[in-house]
Chains A and B, each alone.
Chain A
Amino acid sequence: MREAQKIEILDQLRQGILRMQGLKDLRRMNIGDALDPIRAAFPNHTFPVGAVHEFICSGSEGTAATTGFIAGVLTSLIKRGGVSVWITASQTVFPVALKSFNIEPDHIIFINLENEKDVMWAMNEALRCESLTAVIGELSNIDFKNSRRLQLAVEQSMVTGFVMLSNARRSNSLGKQNQTACVSRWTITPVPSQKVDDLPGLGYPRWNVELLKIRNGRPGAWQLAWENGRLCISGGAPSQVLSQQRRVG
């Protein structure tokens, strides 16, 4: 068997595996260049749309950083006129600020629910609605059963889900893994901004983005900044690939 043929067959087999794992036809869903710098980490070099992504936030500052990062990703997901739903316990997202991430704040529908169970129910319903672009839900924690439910909802509708967990333990490779059915797990922490042209004051928003888990991809950590309307690699810290974690799902 010739070498080229072999590669082709292997590629087809890989695609088959991805399809079986719920990641449908990835080639069609290139979401633009927002995550260009870290694309290599994703399966097929494409950010998985139509999947549930989990974000572990620590404290209000971490939540704010995660909000910024999600807004940056959302920008390239939202095509013209796309509508997203943001489900929170209390209205702390400041709609005016989203405009600076190139998101039309009036195309986001906020749903304020006090009960964690209600948030789950609403997320489930929203993720099944094909006319939405993305659903963002803020929970304190999520268990395997619920995350599986969300993932199943998403696989039919191809809506992208973002779950922000305020009270989840950050799993490490040694400790006991927090097992969920999500496609990826992230932590975003703020990093001191870099001076722009030696001007005083604050620079562009900058985060340490850790991809703790990605199904069929390679986890990693990067320092990203939101500059001139796009996400880009920033800072001297070289992109590093985290030690391969135990694969889940």
Chain B
Amino acid sequence: MGPRFVSIWFRHLKTDWFALRHQATRDQPFVLRTSVHGKMVVTVANAAARRVGIVEGISLADARAVLPLLHVLDDQPDLTEKLLRRLGEWCIRFTPHVAVNPPDGLLLDATGCAHLWGGDQRYVEVIARRLRERGYDVGAAMSDTIGASWAVARYCAGDTVVQTDSHHKILFQLPVEALRLEVETVVRLRKLGLITIGQVASVDRSYLRRRFGEVLNRQIDYALGVEQEPIEPLQPVEPYSERLPCIDPVVTATGIGLALDTLLEKVCIRLQQEQKGLRTAMFRSYRVDGRVQELKVATNRPTHSVAHLRKLFDPMLSSIEPDLGLELFVLEAQGIENKIPTQEKLWHHNGGLENVGLSELLDRLAGRFGSGSIKRFLPDEHYWPERSFRPAASLSEVASTSWRTDKLRPVRLLNEPVRIEVTAPIPDYPPMLFRYKSQVHNIVNADGPERIEAEWWQQDGKHRDYYRVEDEEGRRYWIFRLGHYNDKTYQWFLHGFFA
């Protein structure tokens, strides 16, 4: 079962509250005021006041000119936060994970809660009805992601429940404001003719990044559920850490190992019960003389396997210096992520990139050699050979474009092209021979040239004219000339070896 979130929108939070406190003003027009640079300004106007044309931001004198009998109340600066907090605490009856979503909303992590109220629809209805009975004008929506719930609660009429995995369809029809963006970004998007989220999502991500920065892409990911949005619950989650004080200081490796085992077991049992897994773990040992020694491990995907974590810690345990003895061990699990149990495959051999065995192997290798030495490559949309592939960010990242196969490429590419000396018969003809590592190669067959231009928006430099050549012994090379033949400053390079 996937995560479900409810977003509640208080349309008129402050005025609703004031109306509750001053029953007399309930249906009368009234405003809240505050002093800005010595001038009284209307900060909030209730529905009745707005009906006669009093809006937020105008001065109080103007408002009084429109309606001489206007009720005026003093605004309280941090009222919104206080109210939202109080309402959030009240909402804990619906789910343990409630977060304040300023300036005008609440977020409920309803995963696994709705069935207690008889289904998603009933759940949302009950929340909205109870809040309305208290006198608040609310909109509520439920969906798979925080972003989608937020958007639907504010931009769709009524209390909507978006069924599992169908939030894309609704989201794509909503305006771009529903992505929780800054006003300037929205204005610029509209200027470009991108009105709905569907239109924005269909644009290439790299263009969006260049124009609007990483924020827009992240907001789209949050809304569509590609990336998990962090939520900060009102009731903080107890940290996943365990302590093991020792009466007698521990000095042996066996002792340290036993302490680690005990702690790992405790933490992992809790993680397993809550269907969570850790991404990083910190093992601290406190020495008698006050020195603290830390060991840290990281994993590729959330795990709560004691054996695997023990294996990751194992090579590092010997680096702990017990000296006079260690009196306290603390294991702290950081980077907690949901680990939804998947059905074990019957045939787990050759399971692909999702395989647990593979990620455990990579964890072990990363623990020993550092994660920088492990790379997986995805295609990148560049003609320049060095840039035609890029390292993948994670094991689960999928290629956004396909690998090019229309042009033949060498199986081995030198990191740095090597200078060679070349004799070519006539301009722009494949060379006759070249000298590489003081050996002369007579070229028998050649293909080319294939011109690849330098990407001027990223780098300066000349274009390359690539030739595939084969010498008389059948060795195949990829060589190129940098620059035009007429320039007299051209140079020849060897860049790769064909199979």
Using CB atoms and an 8 Å cutoff, list the residues of chain A in contact with chain B: 60-61, 63-65, 67-69, 71, 79, 81-83, 85, 90-100, 104-113, 118, 121-122, 125-126, 129-133, 189-193, 200-203, 205-207, 226
Contact = CB atoms under 8 A, between A and B. Distances in A.
14 contacts: A64-B412, A64-B476, A67-B411, A81-B352, A94-B385, A96-B404, A97-B410, A110-B377, A111-B373, A112-B373, A125-B364, A130-B357, A190-B474, A192-B474
A62 to B, nearest CB: 9
Contact of A99 (B403, B412, B447): B403
A83 B355 contact: yes
Contact of A109 (B351, B376, B468, B499): B376
Contact of A91 (B357, B361, B415): B415
Contact of B445 (A92, A126, A131, A200): A200
A249 B348 CA distance: 32
A131 B350 contact: yes
Interface string B383-415: 001001100100000010001110011111111
B307 to A, nearest CB: 15
A109 B374 contact: yes
A108 B376 contact: yes
Given A96-B404, A105-B403, A131 B357 contact: yes
B411 A94 contact: yes
B389 A125 contact: no
Given A105-B389, A106-B392, A110-B375, A82 B350 contact: yes
Q: Is the interface of A mostly helix, strand, loop or mixed?
A: mixed
A97 B404 CA distance: 9
A94 B498 CA distance: 10
Contact of B358 (A118, A129, A206): A129
A126 B363 CA distance: 12
A97 B411 contact: yes
Contacts of B351: 81, 131
A61 B411 CA distance: 10
A65 B470 contact: no
Interface string B184-225: 000000000000000000000000000000000000000000
A30 to B, nearest CB: 16
Contact of A65 (B361, B405, B445, B499): B499
Contacts of A105: 377, 379, 389, 403
B476 A131 contact: no
A82 B349 CA distance: 9
Contacts of A189: 474
B444 interface: yes
B473 interface: yes
Contact of A112 (B375, B399, B411, B476): B375
A68 B409 contact: no
A94 B496 contact: yes
B282 interface: no
Most buried by A among B376, B405, B473: B376
A249 to B, nearest CB: 26
A121 B269 CA distance: 32
Given A69-B499, A109-B376, 8 more contacts: A81-B352, A97-B413, A98-B411, A106-B378, A122-B365, A192-B472, A193-B476, A205-B499
Given A83-B352, A205-B498, A97 B446 contact: no
Contact of B476 (A69, A113, A202): A202
Interface of B: 348-353, 355-358, 360-362, 364-365, 368-369, 373-379, 385, 388-389, 392, 399, 403-405, 408-415, 444-447, 468-470, 472-476, 496-499
B497 A122 contact: no
Contact of B365 (A96, A108, A111, A207): A111
B411 A64 contact: yes
A76 B394 CA distance: 26
A100 B405 contact: yes
Most buried by A among B360, B375, B377: B377
Contacts of B355: 83, 131
A188 to B, nearest CB: 9
A122 to B, nearest CB: 6
A28 B68 CA distance: 94
Most buried by A among B362, B388, B389, B476: B476
A125 B403 CA distance: 30
B446 A192 contact: no
B379 A96 contact: yes
Nearest to B408: A100
B29 to A, nearest CB: 63
Contacts of B357: 129-131
Contacts of B403: 96, 99, 104-105
A107 B476 CA distance: 26
A106 B399 contact: yes
Contact of A93 (B350, B364, B412, B475): B412
A112 B365 CA distance: 11
A228 to B, nearest CB: 13
B353 A83 contact: yes
Contacts of A63: 412, 497
A116 B278 CA distance: 33
Contacts of A193: 445, 470, 474, 476
Most buried by B among A61, A68, A129, A205: A61
A226 B411 CA distance: 13
B447 A201 contact: yes
Contacts of B374: 109-111
Contacts of A190: 473-476, 499
A67 B496 CA distance: 13
A91 B399 CA distance: 20
A109 B362 contact: yes
Nearest to A132: B358
Most buried by A among B369, B415, B446: B369
Contact of A192 (B361, B365, B444, B496): B444
